[in-house]
Each structure stands twice: as structure tokens, then as C-alpha cells.
Amino acid sequence: MSGSRIGVREYRHRRRELMRLAGADAAVLLAAAPPRLRNGDTCWPYRQDSDFLYLTGFDEPQAVLALLPGRAAGQCVLFCRERDTAAERWDGGWLGPEGAVRMLGVDDAFPIADIDEILPGMLEGRARLYCHFGREAAFDAQLLAWLRRLRASHGGARAPQEMLALGHLLHELRLFKSPAERALLREAARIGMDGHRAAWAALRPGAHEYTVEAAFTGAVRAAGARPSYPPIVAAGSNACVLHYARNDAPLRSGDLLLLDAGAEWQGYASDITRTLPVGGRFGTAQRALYRLVLEAQQAALACIRPGRTWEDFHDAARTVLVEGLCALRLLEGPPRQALARGHYRRYFPHKTGHWLGLDVHDAGDYRIHGEPRVLEPGMVLTVEPGLYIPADDAGVPARYRGTGIRIEDDVAVTATGAEVLTAALPGDPDALEEALSVARRAA
Ligand code: GLY
Ligand code: MN
Ligand code: MN
């Protein structure tokens, strides 16, 4: 197993790049994610804000990063919790400001309790302030209070005149994955694929969707990772619910099971879907639809290379699906008109992919000046066409109704084409049946 982590040098490089983009007269402020209360004094498992993680690697709440290009006393400043023996007995070890300078490579660090005193002065004379506005109400209020304080101080100190949304600059950096990030994404993919195989071993008629979820989650946790999102384990017509989350229905022979589940490793996500026959063999109608989705995915994958656009691979998948649906008479042809009428959206209501990285639906613009983005080396995305035939669709033969199929792989754009990070997990229906049978025998 890869033990690699992102090193301090890379975090420093990211912060420097962001400062270069922001400009010498700017300041950048970014807050850690707050803990989220579930009820009483119980919080949801803490997950750091991905932007904050990207720039610091620091996973504690109650922290603010200030980037101040050119500041003589240190341009990268972190405010974080001070060490507190009594509190750490409950919460585990905190890094503290001294630890932050030592471990995170920031230039300077202060107790978060002192931020109202220290930060406004640091913003003085900066022309522009980059920030996420409107993301966290408490931080917005704090920010306005700092600016008020700055304007009120010694006869009106020079407060930043321009407030700019940080997302665009930062997310442009996050869109291009470094070699170290690609290694972590590969590892997240590997753990996710192992999780799928473990889930297949638990897949049998009479079991429940949660049996399969437990096998996936158990394997991923045993590898030291976590699910990167709540697994979608959807049997039969549940697979037509795109973000199905109940995962509590029994598995019946003759149904398909759609398993959409990924792993988060060192903050980086995989996002993988396979659709399998609960009874071990695809039925004829199921196989016809499955083949169609697979062909659509192959057509889309063939478009992933530098120079092609964000729309190209979606168009390729959509064309194959619409032609196939017309051939199976689920849509009225001819295909060109079926495409123009848009009725296919009833069966294929989503796009063919999204960026993948620290977030499952990762940061980065999909269009530039209204035009679909051109793919470039270093981008990582999912390719995930699907077909979902509602159980109550009287317009199609009964054998197709209540069937949901998606095949989802994770792909890195390389200098010459694409690297499918999840290629080791079979997608071909015969190979899938064989792998399912092997996994069950081994269980
Ligand atoms: N797992 C969510 C998605 O495929 O986008
Ligand atoms: Mn996805
Ligand atoms: Mn998915």
C-alpha cells in the first residue's frame, strides 16, 4: 500500500501559486470547516474543507489561513487553536501554533483566540481581498467585523477596496492534479475497487442492500480509508433513484444491483459504479441495456484526451445511448430526431461525468467564457453514462421497466490520452459475471 502523502514542499508551492495569481497587493483568507453538530454534543465526523486541506494539509477546525504576499514577517500565516491539555484529553492532540510552523511549513502562526486583534492590521494597505463569501455565515460576519474594525482604527486605516471571490483562482489550481495527487487518486481507486470486490462476495439473493454496503465499507475501513460519499446500493428499480441512500431493501434473484461507492484516501476520492446481476447472470433484456451503457461508456472514454472538450465525451455517450434506445424501440426514431426531441432525458437524466479530486464532485469550471472546457493533462474526471427505465413507464415493454444501470470509471487525462484509474475492475458483462462468481466462491 502506498504510504505517500503530500509533502510540505507541495503545500508551500500551492500557496505560492495562489499568491502569484492573487497579486502582490492582495490578501487571501480561508477558514477551516466548522464542526457540524448532529444533536446534543455529538458532531458528524469531521471533514476539513477541501480548499483549506489543499492549501495546508491541516485537518483541525477553528483555523484561518491568511496569505499576505510580500509580508516581511512571513507571508503565510495560520491562526489555530492553542495547545490545551484539558481539551485535548477529549479531542485528541492539537497541533498548536508552534507545531503548525514546524509541521505545516507556514511562516507564522498565532492563537485563533487572538485573530480579532491581529488580523485586521495585517489586511491594512491590501488593495484586494480574496475570500469565499457566503459559504459560512459565521465567517462572513467575522470578516465584516474585521473590516469595520480596520476602517474604525486610527482615523480610518486603508481597508481593502475590492472583495473578490476566491473560488475561481483556487479551483483552477485544484483542477490540475500533481504527480503526488495522481498517486493518491490511484490509491483511492485501488482501495475502492477492492471494496467493490468485497461487496460482490456478499451479493446474493436473500441478503439486503445494507449487507453489500457493510462489505464495501468494511473493506475500505480495513484499508485505512473511508467511503468518499454515502454508498448507493440500489437493487431493482431502486437503481432508478439517482441518489438512492436507504440501502435497506432485500436482494432478489433476477434483479440487478447498482453499487456506486468510492474510497477517500488521504483526502482524495474515487467514485466507482458497477451494476451486477443479483442471481449471477444478466437476463436478456438486462444484458441488452447493459451492453448499451457499456458501449456508451467506451465511446466516451475514447474521447478523453488533450484537445477534446468537456462536451465531446458526453455527446459521444449520448449518441450511442439514443441510437441504442431507438434500436430497442424504447425511443421513437430516427435517432437524430430522438436526440433533438430530448425525450432520452427520461432515461439518461445526468451528464456523463464530473471532475474528481479532493471532492467527489471536484472543483473547477466546466466552461470558459461559455465554451466547453478543453481537456488538458492533469485533469481527473469520472466517465459514467447510465440508463434508468422507470418502473411505471407504460411506454416501454415490461421486460425493460424498473431497470437502472450505470458504469462509472475514474480517468486521468495524460499527455497522450487517458489513464483509467479503475480499469482493473471489470465492466464487460461476461467478465463481470465471472468475477462475481469468483468473489462469491472465495467468500
Ligand atoms: N457518486 C456520485 C456520482 O456518481 O456522481
Ligand atoms: Mn460520479
Ligand atoms: Mn458515483
CATH of the domain at 118: 3.40.350.10
Regarding whether 181 and 285 lie in a shared domain, the answer is yes
- Distance between CA 315 and CA 362 in Å, rounded? 21
Please identify which residue in the block is written with the cell numbers 490511484. 186
1 lies in some domain: no
The atom of ligand 1 lying closest to the CA of 350 is: 5
Regarding whether 96 and 236 lie in a shared domain, the answer is no
Q: How far are the Cα atoms of 119, 289, 308 from residue 31, in angstroms, in the given order?
A: 13, 47, 36
For ligand 1, atom 4, the nearest C-alpha belongs to 271
Regarding whether 189 and 159 lie in a shared domain, the answer is no
Give 232's strand partners.
Answer: 260
Residue that finishes a domain, picked among 174, 199, 231: 174
Regarding whether 280 and 190 lie in a shared domain, the answer is yes
Residue that finishes a domain, picked among 174, 197, 229: 174
Judged by its nearest atom, the ligand closest to the C-alpha of residue 383 is 2
Please identify which residue in the block is written with the cell numbers 510552523. 101
Regarding whether 201 and 287 lie in a shared domain, the answer is yes
Regarding whether 162 and 275 lie in a shared domain, the answer is no
The atom of ligand 1 lying closest to the CA of 406 is: 4
The pLDDT tens digits of the residues spanning 62-100 come to 999 999 999 999 999 999 999 999 999 998 999 999 999
Judged by its nearest atom, the ligand closest to the C-alpha of residue 229 is 1
Active-site residue list: 41, 243, 260, 271, 350, 354, 361, 384, 388, 406, 408
Residue 420 CA, distance from chain mean position: 16
Q: What is the pLDDT of residue 168?
A: 92
Taking 70 as the pLDDT cut, the residues of the chain under it are 1-4, 154-157
Regarding whether 208 and 141 lie in a shared domain, the answer is no
276 lies in some domain: yes
- 244, 383, 384, best to mutate for ligand 1 pocket (most atoms within 8 Å of CB): 384
Please identify which residue in the block is written with the cell numbers 462476495. 201
138 lies in some domain: yes
Q: What is the pLDDT of residue 2?
A: 42
Task: Report the half-sphere exposure of 172 (CA within 13 A, side-chain side).
Answer: 11
Q: Please tell me the distance between residue 273's alpha carbon and the centre of ligand 3 in angstroms.
A: 6
pTM of the model: 0.96
- 213, 229, 258, 381, best to mutate for ligand 1 pocket (most atoms within 8 Å of CB): 229
Structurally, how many domains does the chain consist of?
A: 2
Q: Is 197 exposed, middle or buried (0-12, 13-18, 19+ CB in 10 A)?
A: buried
In sequence order, the 6+-apart residues with CB closer than 8 A to the CB of 132 are: 30, 31, 51, 139, 165, 166, 167
Regarding whether 322 and 229 lie in a shared domain, the answer is yes
Q: What is the CATH number of the domain that holds 181?
A: 3.90.230.10
Domain of residue 103: give its range. 8-174
Regarding whether 305 and 212 lie in a shared domain, the answer is yes
Q: Is 24 exposed, middle or buried (0-12, 13-18, 19+ CB in 10 A)?
A: exposed
3 lies in some domain: no
2 lies in some domain: no
Residue that finishes a domain, picked among 116, 139, 174: 174
- Distance between CA 32 and CA 202 in Å, rounded? 39
328 lies in some domain: yes
Judged by its nearest atom, the ligand closest to the C-alpha of residue 245 is 1
Regarding whether 147 and 219 lie in a shared domain, the answer is no
- Distance between CA 68 and CA 25 in Å, rounded? 8
Q: What is the pLDDT of residue 157?
A: 67
